[in-house]
Each structure stands twice: as C-alpha cells, then as structure tokens.
Structure 1
Amino acid sequence: MKFTQMSRRVLVMAASGVTATVVLTACGGVKTTSSGGEGAYPTGNIEMSVGASPGGSTDLITRAIAQGLSKELGVSVPVVNKPGANGALNAKELQSAKADGYKIAVQNASLFTITPLAVSANEAVKLDDFDLIGGISQDDYVLIAPVASGYKTIADLKKTGKNIKYGTTGVGTGAQLASALTFKQAGIESTDVPFDGGAPALTALLGSQVDVATIQVGDSIEQIKARKVVPLAVFSADRIKFLPDVPTAKEQGYDVVVSQYRFLTAPKGTPDDVKTKIGDAAKKTFATDTYKKFNDAHCLTPIEVTPDEVKKILDEYATKYKAQLDQYGISLAAKK
C-alpha cells in the first residue's frame, strides 16, 4: 500500500491512541529511567512536550528530533502532546518546570512574535522566560483554493468582488497574519475563519466551508500534487524549492513575507553544560541523512543556527509584524 504524506500524518495521530505520549522503545543500551538520578547528564528520560496535537508539523519535527536525541544521548525521549492556545499552554508548563534538562520543547516563532499581537499582555508568552538551545527549521505558508474555483492568483480573488472567507491555522498565527495583510493590501473584502491547525483548515476548504485557506506547505503539498487544491501564492521572501512554479505574494505586488520558524528550548536557568549536550546531540541528528530526508519530505527549510541568531531572527520578526499591523490598522484579536 502506498502512503501519502497526509496518510503518514494520520498514522502518527492514530498511533498516539488514547494517550498523547509516545515513548521511544528502549534498545541497544538506551536508559529508560523515569527521571534523572546521580551521575553525568543525562541519567534518565528526557521529556519533549509539544504544544500541538499529534500529526502536525511541530509534532512531527519533535518526534524526529526525539529519535535522534535518544540515539545520541543513550536515554529514552518520550514525546508528550499538550495542545492549546497556539502552544501557549505547553510553553507556560515548560516555563515552570525544573531547569535540569529533563523537560525540553520545540517551540514556534509565532507564539512569541505574532500571538502577543492578538492577545492581552497577561496572556502573552515571553521569549526571555526560556533558555534557547538552537534553531531548527522554517515552514512556509501557502494560500490555496479548490481547483474547481478557477482561482490561480491573488488578483483572481479581487476580481470576484465578493467577500472572501479565508481559513487559517488559528488566531495569532502566521497564517492569520499573512492572510490579513494580503487581503488588506489588495483591498479585498474578507472574513477570517480560524481553525485549530492546518488539517482542519484544509478539511474546511475541501468541504467548501471557506473560499481559500492559508496553511503550511507541508500540510497541503499532497493535496496540491493531487490537484485537489491550487496554490495561489507562497508567503516566503523567495520562491521555495518545494513549489518552484508558485509565485510569492511579493511577486504579485504585496509586501507580505511570513513564515513559521521553530527552535529548541528549555526552562530558564538550565545549566550551560546540559544545554550544550542537548544542542550537540541535536546537531548530530540534523546532520544525518535520515533527518535531511525528513526535512525534504515535510517541506522544511533547515535554519540550524545558534541561540543568539534565533533571538535576532525573532526580534526582527516581532518588530516587522507589529509595524505592518499598525500601518494597515489590522487587529488579529479573536472576534467576540
């Protein structure tokens, strides 16, 4: 039986079953102690939590890294899904965890650069409340429509003269920001319909509940290849190798460059030697052919940079996004 990428994501979700925890099976000398003990780090399991449901990009990236860390560090690395509030619930739990290296997480740039523009100051999660271990990869967004719609470009949407209902991956996400900026700049009357992730947004699009949707390329590539949906624009700075024939929003005259970037984090105050061990193990994982093939299979662009470079990237994103929202008078806050 041939499995598509979407099928693989469904299998991951099914494999999670009733519990959202996936534990890598101990083998070849891998330690499976439930918590750290005496001796050089690590002496027990390292839990990796995910602020999203099983099967999405962040979940799949976390699982791929967990397998590599387990191999390199010689301990079991369980993955625990804790979805909610675009990753904020998981982030706040990690923030209060013991800073000993036994709880770490892959986090999304949007949680720190876009979500604060859509929620109150009390609800916002701050980057300074975590220790950065290193950068991972970029996931690009694409605006898609059903093939039957006849739409091929952003200009085609404008020509309809109607209110365009657009699906996104949620409030305070890059998908929402990219869509809102595009429709505002294009002068297209539109209505935001947020979903909890790319999969439900894609399902809504295929079910004609929305006219178009902005989701991550990895979540839509199989439907694009199957010619069930058509890509109208990508929101990267340049065309991407996974969809080389699809023009960017900038090429179509709109100053919209938005992507999802992910990086590895630990609770504030985690010892430097522990972070170094985790970071070195991650780098070795990234260098394997298996992980490189994983990136290509899921349309991910590696940006495996230092913690200082991660912070610089996020600071630039936050400044740019806020300025654009202010410029165009856009609010990302959930409608009440």
Structure 2
Amino acid sequence: MLLLKKTVATALVGAVCAAIAPSLSYADDTWPSKPITFIVPYAAGGFADTRMRLLARELADEIKTSVVVENKAGAGGVIGTAYIAKSKPDGYTIGSGNLAPLSVNPTLMPKNVSYDVQKDFAPVVLVEESPLILSVNNNVPVKTVSELIALAKKDPGSLTFGSSGVGGAHHLSGELFASEAGLDLSHVPYKGGAPAATDLMAGHIDMMFEMGYAAMPAIEAKKVHPLAVTSAKRLALLPDVPTMAESGLPGFESYNWQGVIAPAGTPPEVIQKLNAAFNNILKKPEVLKAFEITGGQAAGGTPEEFGKFIQDETAKWAKVIETSKISVD
C-alpha cells in the first residue's frame, strides 16, 4: 500500500510539472526568440494606429526581434481588446490598451464586453496621456472658462458642445465639465471628430473638447479660440493657454490615453522586460518629439501603476456615465 501511495504521488507531481512546464519555458532567458504580434484594436491609419506603429518599431529595435502590428478594429475597440484577452499568454502577443475599451465601455456597454479588465489582462505600461483642448467658436463672446461658465448659467441648456460620438473622450470631457461646473449643456454627437470640428469652426456648435493634433490647425488659423487644456500642466504647444484647474476647476483632468497590455498569465519576467523596454523608448528624444507635436504627454512607470491607473479611470468615468445618464441606446 505504501508503495502504491508513493507511486501515485510521484505520478501527480509529474503531471503537475508537465502542466506547468510550458509556462516556465515562456519565461526563460530565450524570450524573445520569435516575432511578437502587437494588436491595435482600431483601424489602420488613425491616431491610435499611427502611435502604436511608432512604438512597435522602437520596441523591435529595443528587444532585437520583429514586432508585427495587426489591426483588429470594431465595437469601439472591444473586438481587438477581447482578442488580446483570449490570446496565448506566452509573451508573443501584446497590444494597445486604451481608454474606451478598458475604462469606459465596460460601464457604457457591458453587454458588448466579453472580458473582465481586472482578470483577463496583465498591464505592461501606460504609454501616453493625450489631453484635450476646450475651444469655442469665434462667435461665442468669451475669452476664459470662467466667462464661459457665467454665460452658460445665464441661459441653461442653450450652449452646445460637440463630440465624435457618445461615450468618447470628447463627450465624456464635456459631461465632466458640465458636472463639475454645475452647468446644463446640450450635447451634439457626430459620427467622428472631423465633422464636429467643422461645425465648431462654422459656428453651428458653441464648444468642443478636442484632441490636440486635431484642434491645432483650427487654433493656428484662428478659426476657433482655445480656453483651456485638460492636463495637469500646460501644453508646450499652447504655453499661454491655462489648464482647466488653473481656470477655476481644481482637479479637473481628462485624457484620451493609451498603454500596452498583455493577456493575463503572461510570465512576470516577460512583463518586466517589456516594461523596461517601453520605459527606455519613452525617454528617446524622437519619441518625445512625436508626442509633443500632437499634444500628447509621455507617461511610463510600472505595470502596477498602470493597473491602478486603469482602475481609477474606470471609477471616474463610471461616475460621469451614471451622473449624466449616458446611454448608447
């Protein structure tokens, strides 16, 4: 009987070792030994895709292996993000982790989200925070945020703000502004940021929170007037434009951010190597310049910090969605 128990125990140990052997091999010193696939959950040619392709090229140089970008667009980034969650956690599939699919859509459209953000992903690093610029059309008689707030309070519901669609960074920033300042603003959603920006210049909508790269041409052409930026500090592109906090709304920050994530279960050693590589990339002058000219700010930090950031952003925007009664129906 003792011999039988020993034999069974030995067999069980062998089975466990066999089961974990593949995962152990992923984390050995040979990583990376083959090309890495980098998933972008948005269409090719857009801002998110362009930025991640830049980082993918830099990553290939940093870790000395090929990095292949694959676009898996659809459902506000949900399709590609779900693909990352279901990928093999061997360190050879990573992807872009963005505001909408990670911190907005699980609250805004929970029936369409098949993944659990806290359980299905391993955060790697926060790459970039892209603040927005609050601008008004040239017919709105204000020069500061405080003047805009005063104007809005004179006739509640009369002022309009445009967005690229329900639940996007433009929309959420406008709702956060209305909530923080105690305003009644009318939201006008468009099918994309470009038509909204066109109507802002034409005077068909009063204001808009817009990404820096999209807002700057109209600002430079003096077709709209910038009032504030949503970052914690002023933008190098617009050094004379105050932050929302400086304009009387302390703590107001809003970003369309993106980072890098991997499937849950990816070996910690690989996550750390990727994190170190991206932190090095984010210090390169050419990368910092690419961010700066589009109004973005390089981030960086640890995987744990990125995980906490995702949690905080999720709680923040869930409150805005609930308070403003935002729905995609």
Give the conservation status (yes or no) of the 8 Å contact 2:163–2:208. yes
Gapped runs of 5+ residues in structure 2? 1-25
Partner Cα distance (2:325, 2:209) in 1: 17
Give the conservation status (yes or no) of the 8 Å contact 2:72–2:79. yes
- Change in Cα spacing, 1:102 to 1:194, as seen in structure 2 (3 Å) is farther
Q: Which residue of 1 aligns with 2:7?
A: none
- Change in Cα spacing, 1:80 to 1:145, as seen in structure 2 (3 Å) is farther
Question: What amino acid does structure 2 have at the position aligned with 1:74?
Answer: K
TM-score (norm 2): 0.78
Give the conservation status (yes or no) of the 8 Å contact 2:152–2:185. no
2:257 to 233, 258, 261: 261
Q: Which residue of 2 aligns with 1:123?
A: 113
Task: Indicate the RMSD between aligned Cα atoms, in angstroms.
Answer: 2.9
Q: Which residue of 1 aligns with 2:5?
A: none
Question: What amino acid does structure 2 have at the position aligned with 1:170?
Answer: G
Answer with 95-104 or 121-130: which moved more: 121-130
Partner Cα distance (2:48, 2:86) in 1: 21
Question: What amino acid does structure 2 have at the position aligned with 1:172?
Answer: G
From the two aligned structures, give the one with the greater helix fraction: 2
Q: Which residue of 1 aligns with 2:126?
A: 135
1:306 to 302, 305, 308: 302
2:313 to 311, 317, 322: 317
| Matched residues, number | 296
Secondary structure class of the residue paired with 1:52:
coil
1:70 to 39, 49, 60: 60
Q: Which residue of 1 aligns with 2:152?
A: 158
Q: Which residue of 2 aligns with 1:173?
A: 168
Question: What amino acid does structure 2 have at the position aligned with 1:163?
Answer: S
Give the conservation status (yes or no) of the 8 Å contact 1:56–1:198. no
Secondary structure class of the residue paired with 1:49:
strand
TM-score (norm 1): 0.76
Identical positions, percent: 28
Partner Cα distance (1:166, 1:283) in 2: 37
Give the conservation status (yes or no) of the 8 Å contact 1:115–1:173. no
Q: Which residue of 2 aligns with 1:27?
A: none
Q: Which residue of 2 aligns with 1:330?
A: 324
Question: What amino acid does structure 1 have at the position aligned with 2:68?
Answer: P
Partner Cα distance (2:279, 2:31) in 1: 18
After superposition, give the CA deviation of every residue in 1:226-254 in whole Å (9 maximum; x if it has no partner): 22222122222343333222233334444
1:79 to 57, 69, 80: 69
- Change in Cα spacing, 1:63 to 1:212, as seen in structure 2 (3 Å) is same
Q: Which residue of 1 aligns with 2:22?
A: none
- Change in Cα spacing, 1:203 to 1:52, as seen in structure 2 (3 Å) is farther
Pairwise CA distance, 1:140 = 0.3
- Change in Cα spacing, 1:121 to 1:254, as seen in structure 2 (3 Å) is farther
1:1-336 counterparts in 2 under 5 A?
Answer: 40-120=30-110, 123=113, 125-128=115-118, 129-154=120-145, 155-156=147-148, 158=152, 161=155, 163-186=158-181, 188-195=183-190, 197-206=192-201, 208=203, 210-254=205-249, 256-323=252-319, 329-334=323-328, 336=329
Give the conservation status (yes or no) of the 8 Å contact 2:137–2:202. no
Secondary structure class of the residue paired with 1:259:
coil
